[in-house]
Amino acid sequence: MKITLNVWRQSSPEAAGSFVKYDVDGVSADMSMLEMLDVLNDRLESKGEAPIAFDHDCREGICGSCGFMINGVAHGPEKEITVCQTHMRSFKDGDELTLEPWRAMAFPVMRDLMVDRSAFDRIIQAGGYVSVRTGSAPEANATPVMKEHADMAFEAAACIGCGACVAACPNAAAMLFTSAKVSHLGLLPQGEPERDKRAIDMVAQMDKEGFGHCSNHGECEAVCPKGISVNFIARMNRDLLKATLRSSR
Amino acid sequence: MTLDGKCPSGPIETAWDRHRFNMKLVNPSNRRKYNVLVVGTGLAGAACAATLGELGFNVQAFCYQDSARRAHSIAAQGGINAAKNYQNDGDSVHRLFYDTVKGGDYRSRERNVHRLAQISVNIIDQAVAQGVPFAREYGGLLDNRSFGGAQVARTFYARGQTGQQLLLGAYSALSRQVHAGTVKLHTRTEMLDLVVIDGRARGIITRNLATGELESWVGDAVVLATGGYGNVFFLSTNAMGCNVTATYKAYKKGALFANPCYTQIHPTCIPVSGGYQSKLTLMSESLRNDGRVWVPKSAADATKDPSTLPEDQRDYYLERRYPSFGNLVPRDVASRNAKTVCDEGRGVGHEVDGQRRAVYLDFRDAIQRVGKSTIEARYGNLFHMYTKITGENPYESPMRIYPAIHYTMGGLWVDYNLMSNIEGLFVLGEANFSDHGANRLGASALMQGLADGYFVAPPTISDYLARVGWGSTVTAEHEGFKAAKGEANERIQKLLSIKGKRPVDSFHRELGNVMWDKCGMSRTKEGLEEALKRIPEIRAEFWENVNVPGENKGVNQSLERAGRVADFLEFGELMCLDALERAESCGGHFREESQTEDGEALRDDVNYCHTAAWEFKGVETAPTLHKEALTFDYVKLTQRSYK
Q: Note whether B510 and B538 are within 8 A (CB).
A: yes
Confidence of residue B377 (pLDDT cuts 50, 70, 90): confident
- Report which DSSP code applies to B428: -
Query: Given the DSSP bridges, would you call strands B355-356 and B183-186 parallel, antiparallel or unpaired?
Result: unpaired
Q: Domains of chain A, with CATH numbers?
A: 3-111 (3.10.20.30), 117-248 (1.10.1060.10)
Please give the pLDDT value at position A207: 97
Contact B503 A30 (CB under 8 A): no
- Across the range B43-49, mean pLDDT stands at 98
Contact A11 B140 (CB under 8 A): no
Contact A63 B142 (CB under 8 A): no
Question: A120 at the B interface (CB within 8 A)?
Answer: yes
- Catalytic member of B331, B357, B564, B640: B331
User: Which residue from A minimizes the CA distance to B350?
Assistant: A30
- How far, in Å, CA of B481 to CA of A28, rounded? 48
Question: A125 at the B interface (CB within 8 A)?
Answer: yes
Confidence of residue B599 (pLDDT cuts 50, 70, 90): confident
In this complex, the residue of A114, A129, A153 whose CB is nearest that of residue B176 is: A129
Contact B137 A138 (CB under 8 A): no
Q: A residues 37-56 near B, CB within 8 Å?
A: 38-39, 41-42, 44-46, 48-51, 53, 55-56
Which residues of B are less than 8 Å from A125 in CB distance?
175-176, 178-179
Mark whether B534 is an active-site residue: no
Give the side-chain half-sphere CA count within 13 A for B479. 2
- How far, in Å, CA of B216 to CA of B477, rounded? 9
Say which residues have a Cβ less than 8 Å from residue B505's Cβ, sequence separation at least 6: A38, A42, B561, B565
- Ordered by start, the domain boundaries in chain B are 268-406, 479-611
As a three-state string, the secondary structure of chain A is CCEEEEEEECCCCCCCCEEEEEEECCCCCCCEHHHHHHHHHHHHHHCCCCCCCCCCCCCCCCCCCCCCEECCEECCCCCCCCHHHCEHHHCCCCCEEEEECCCCCCCCEEECCEECCHHHHHHHHCCCCCCCCCCCCCCHHHCCCCHHHHHHHHHHHCCCCCCHHHHHCCCCECHHHHHHHHHHHHCCHHHHHHHHHHHHHHHHHHHHCCCECCCCCCHHHHHCCCCCCCHHHHHHHHHHHHHHHHHHC
Q: Which among B156, B160, B149, B131 has a CA at the least distance from the CA of B80?
A: B156
Question: A204 at the B interface (CB within 8 A)?
Answer: no
Q: What's the sign of the alpha-carbon dihedral B533, B534, B535, B536? A: positive
CATH level 3 topology of B479-611? Methane Monooxygenase Hydroxylase; Chain G, domain 1 (1.20.58)
- Report which DSSP code applies to B360: E
Which residues of A are less than 8 Å from B547 in CB distance?
45-46, 48
- How far, in Å, CA of B25 to CA of B35, rounded? 16
- Report which DSSP code applies to B346: I
**What is the total residue count of chain A?**
249
In this complex, the residue of B66, B175, B458 whose CB is nearest that of residue A125 is: B175
Q: What confidence tens digit (pLDDT) does each residue in B253-307 have?
A: 999 999 999 999 999 999 999 989 999 999 887 888 899 999 999 999 999 999 9
Contact B130 A56 (CB under 8 A): no
For residue B598, pLDDT beyond 80: no
B325 or B106, higher pLDDT:
B106
Share of chain B above pLDDT 70, in %: 100
Q: Which among B150, B163, B406 has a CA at the least distance from the CA of B286?
A: B150
Say which residues have a Cβ less than 8 Å from residue B28's Cβ, sequence separation at least 6: B56
- How far, in Å, CA of A235 to CA of B491, rounded? 53
Contact B549 A39 (CB under 8 A): no
Which amino acid is present at A134?
Answer: T
For residue B634, pLDDT beyond 70: yes
Contact B503 A85 (CB under 8 A): no
- Across the range B60-85, mean pLDDT stands at 96
- Across the range B61-65, mean pLDDT stands at 98
For residue B80, pLDDT beyond 80: yes
Task: Kindly report the backbone phi and psi dihedral angles of residue B265, in degrees, each rounded to the nearest multiple of 5, phi listed first.
Answer: -105, 135
Q: Note whether A88 and A28 are within 8 A (CB).
A: yes
- How far, in Å, CA of A143 to CA of A149, rounded? 13
- In what helix (H) or strand (E) does residue B187 lie, and over which residues does it extend? none
Nearest CA-CA distance, residue B430 and chain A, Å: 17
- How far, in Å, CA of B106 to CA of B630, rounded? 8
User: Which residue from A minimizes the CA distance to B241?
Assistant: A57
Contact B276 A28 (CB under 8 A): yes
Please give the pLDDT value at position B615: 98
Residue B609 CA, distance from chain mean position: 22
Q: What confidence tens digit (pLDDT) does each residue in B146-187 have?
A: 887 788 999 999 988 999 999 999 999 999 999 999 999 999
Task: Kindly report the backbone phi and psi dihedral angles of residue B4, in degrees, each rounded to the nearest multiple of 5, phi listed first.
Answer: -110, 110
User: Which residue from A minimizes the CA distance to B175?
Assistant: A125
Contact A59 B187 (CB under 8 A): no
Q: Note whether B183 and B109 are within 8 A (CB).
A: no
Contact A128 B549 (CB under 8 A): no
In this complex, the residue of A12, A56, A191 whose CB is nearest that of residue B131 is: A191
Please give the pLDDT value at position A249: 59
User: Which residue from B minimizes the CA distance to A133?
Assistant: B54
- In what helix (H) or strand (E) does residue B405 lie, and over which residues does it extend? strand B399-408
Question: A154 at the B interface (CB within 8 A)?
Answer: yes
- How far, in Å, CA of B375 to CA of B497, rounded? 56
Q: Note whether A193 and A132 are within 8 A (CB).
A: no
CATH of the domain spanning B268-406: 3.90.700.10
What value, to the nearest 5°, has the Cα angle with vertex B11 and ends B9 and B17? 80
- How far, in Å, CA of B304 to CA of B314, rounded? 12
Contact B131 A12 (CB under 8 A): no
Nearest CA-CA distance, residue A55 and chain B, Å: 8
Which residues of A are less than 8 Å from B187 in CB distance?
118, 121
Contact A150 B240 (CB under 8 A): no
* DSSP letter for each residue of B559-616: HHHHHHHHHHHHHHHHHHHHHHH--S-BTTB-BTTSB-TTS-B---HHHH-EEEEEE-
Radius of gyration of chain A (CA): 20
Which segments within B409-552 are labelled E, that is strand?
411-412, 425-427
- How far, in Å, CA of B52 to CA of B49, rounded? 5
Which amino acid is present at B301?
Answer: D
Query: Given the DSSP bridges, would you call strands B189-197 and B200-208 parallel, antiparallel or unpaired?
Result: antiparallel
Question: A11 at the B interface (CB within 8 A)?
Answer: yes
CB contacts < 8 A, A to B, total 225
Confidence of residue B639 (pLDDT cuts 50, 70, 90): confident
Q: A residues 52-81 near B, CB within 8 Å?
A: 53, 55-60, 62-65, 78, 81
Selected residue of A37, A57, A159 to mutate for chain B interface (largest B Cβ count, 10 A): A57
Buried b / exposed e across B184-193, counting CB within 10 Å, b at 16+? ebbbbbbbbb
> For helices B557-581 and B525-545, what crossing angle results, to 10°?
160
Task: Kindly report the backbone phi and psi dihedral angles of residue B578, in degrees, each rounded to the nearest multiple of 5, phi listed first.
Answer: -65, -40
- How far, in Å, CA of B146 to CA of A185, rounded? 28
pLDDT beneath 70, residues of chain A = 249
Q: What is the mean pLDDT of chain B?
A: 95
- How far, in Å, CA of A57 to CA of B52, rounded? 28
Q: Note whether A50 and A11 are within 8 A (CB).
A: yes
What separation in angstroms does the CA of B617 have from each of B24, B175, B232, B625?
35, 41, 21, 11
- How far, in Å, CA of B472 to CA of B474, rounded? 6
Selected residue of B57, B276, B499 to mutate for chain A interface (largest A Cβ count, 10 A): B276
In this complex, the residue of B74, B124, B548 whose CB is nearest that of residue A63 is: B74
